[in-house]
Amino acid sequence: MTALLVKNIGILQTPAGSFPHGGKAQGENLKLRDAAILIENGVIREITDGGRLPQGSEEADTVVDAEGKLVTPGLVEGHTHMVFGGYRQHEIPMKLKGAGYLDILRAGGGILDTVRKTREAGFEELYGKTEGFLDEMMALGVTTCEAKSGYGLDFDTEVKMLQVLKKLNEEHPMDVVATFMGAHAVPDEYKDRPDDFIDMLCEEVMPYVKAQGLAEFADIFTEDSVFNYGQSKRYLERAKALGFGLKVHADEIEAIGGSQLAGEMGAVSCEHLISIDEKGLEALAKGGVTAMCLPATSFYLGADFAPARKMIELGIPVAAASDFNPGSCPSLNLQFVMNLACIKYKMLPEEVLTAVTVNPACAIGRGDRVGTLEKGKQGDLVIWDAPDMDMLCYRFGSNLALQVIKKGELVS
Ligand code: NIG
Ligand code: FE
């Protein structure tokens, strides 16, 4: 048995429970003062406050003194596209000259450019690059993350990307949850035949991915010039029948019914939602769908920000994630996402904490294990160079994660 004690915690702040927190519950956090936490064999055994130490503390192999700082659950990153070949810095001058995100994609660039580079990249190259991203994320306080395929758009490369994620989940301290996103764009070989492409994904790739246990969720880019409502529905129905949890990239640029579809199909989360309309909001609320909001993408695209306050008013659980990818958000800094959620979405620090812990944890099927600090959950936490959550939402551009603990081990 190994045990780790963190003592002298100024404030231990955490949401409670293993369910998506919407409405008023979004802003409900437990705040324990002068707290301590004992983690045994990777699992939280006891949390105390008021200067008391948990029973059995004297047997801890490692004692960490938090020196009066803030401790929260390890952050949960709910939406990334972190496996990719190359980068797309050459798009910067194009954008500055006025090209929009979809203009670049329609001209065969954007996602399709990354597809070419990802098809060319070997397994080891992608593994090493993604491993570096996981290290960087962990140093910033993330202890569990989601990652999507979708830069292969053919059988071999989609499977290669998912195998990279599977191996990293086994070998890296980060918990990695994979999503199959074969329907991320229409590849050149299916140009003008999007329906045939969807058929191929549904009949050839998806069943294999499921049978090999390579992904738990399926996602699709429902967007003007990408996949329409009908194609998205067909893809999601097949995914549902195969037993995948559902996610939808919707209303990133145009609202073409993706968020309604997410509600109708009982998706676990719906992502982006910059241009969501009343019908979409209603569908998410009715369907119990978590809104995965991606403010760093809005920032980087120079776009509007999703109406997160309105979502909270409607009782929709809000999560905030980076969307890390080589096009619309080349940053994996979830702390910056927290700053943006506060300043641009006008979310209170407590609501922000819920948005980067328990809500994304539930949206990636890990709500029973991570996202809160409670007895019996995984010992994943961050000691911050901050006295309280206000400070975390206020300082930006610096890494305030002092120490990151994953399953009771210091990892950063
Ligand atoms: O979530 N919108 C689609 N997918 C990503 C962008 C991918 C890319 O540009 O490479 C997103 O923003
Ligand atoms: Fe995305």
Which of 227, 322, 323 to probe ligand 1 with, by most ligand atoms within 8 A of CB? 323
Report the 10 Å Cβ neighbour count for 107. Answer: 12
| Phi, psi for residue 80 in degrees, rounded to 5 | -140, 160
- Give buried/exposed letters for 234-259 (b at 16+ CB in 10 A, else e): bbbebbeeeebbbbbbbbbbbbbbbb
With CA atoms as reference, report the closest residue to 162 among 208, 201, 194: 208
With CA atoms as reference, report the closest residue to 66 among 138, 13, 142, 135: 13
Q: From the CA of 111, how far away is ligand 1's center (Å)?
A: 7
Q: What is the pLDDT of residue 16?
A: 98
Q: What is the pLDDT of residue 108?
A: 86
Which of 111, 115, 151, 256 to probe ligand 1 with, by most ligand atoms within 8 A of CB? 111
Tokens 């990334």 -> residue: 80
- Give buried/exposed letters for 361-376 (b at 16+ CB in 10 A, else e): bbbbebbebbbbbeee
Q: Which atom of ligand 1 is nearest to the CA of 88?
A: 10
- Contact by Cβ (8 Å): 15, 353: yes
How do strand 381-384 and strand 70-73 relate by DSSP bridges?
A: antiparallel
With CA atoms as reference, report the closest residue to 180 among 258, 122, 228, 246: 246
DSSP 80: B
Q: What is the pLDDT along the chain (412 residues), one digit of tens a residue?
A: 899 999 999 999 999 999 999 999 999 999 999 999 999 999 999 999 999 999 999 999 999 999 999 999 999 999 999 999 999 999 999 999 999 988 898 888 999 999 999 999 999 999 999 999 999 999 999 999 999 999 999 999 999 999 999 999 999 999 999 999 999 999 999 999 999 999 999 999 999 999 999 999 999 999 999 999 999 999 999 999 999 999 999 999 999 999 999 999 999 999 999 999 999 999 999 999 999 999 999 999 999 999 999 999 999 999 999 999 999 999 999 999 999 999 999 999 999 999 999 999 999 999 999 999 999 999 999 999 999 999 999 999 999 999 999 999 999 9
Report the 10 Å Cβ neighbour count for 156. Answer: 10
